[in-house]
Amino acid sequence: MIETAAQLRHARMRSRCKPTGWTFLWAGCLLLFSACQTPEAKHAFGVSAVQFQDVVVPSGFKLREAGHESYAREEAGWRQAHLVYLGSIKMEDAMGYVRQRMPQHNWTALTEESLPDSGIRIRFERGVYSADYTFSASREGSTQMVVDYKTDYARK
């Protein structure tokens, strides 16, 4: 049987393209590593609720992130956040802690007002940033604290 050059080339290529165990191992590794994400990549397009360093939170309060209840975003000095916390501390004690600690982070208390739903809002300001702390009793019998953090360059 005499084979032509084209038939020999075709036979060689078939023998080179046979998948081996190593081929499947490398393909699996590449697939695994390409599916991994860094924490930064995870939040690049999703919702993140990372607490800023200058947000004062009394001990015993937990950030509520389920269902995108809380969110935070920071880009080149611009900040915005809506952070919902729940804790077992009395509302008066939590407010006292925030009133005492915020000035230590260079925040100035501006206003304190009672809300129609038996809550209290305390507004703080520092440079271009403002932080509204709203305290209320939750249905579960604990204290809910909501922090609305904003940047307003008009105040510069």
Which pLDDT tens digit goes with each residue over 98-145?
A: 999 999 999 999 999 999 888 999 999 999 999 999 999 887 789 999
Task: Convert 87-124 to b/e letters by CB count within 10 Å (16 or more is b).
Answer: bebebeebbebbeeebeeeebeeeeeeeeeeebebbbb
Which pLDDT tens digit goes with each residue over 43-98?
A: 444 455 667 888 899 999 999 887 788 998 989 889 999 999 999 999 999 999 99
43-155 fold: TATA-Binding Protein (3.30.310)
pLDDT level of residue 12 (50, 70, 90 thresholds):
low
Domain ranges of the chain: 5-35, 43-155
Strand partners, 49: none
Mean pLDDT for all residues in the chain:
80
User: What pLDDT is recorded for position 48?
Assistant: 58
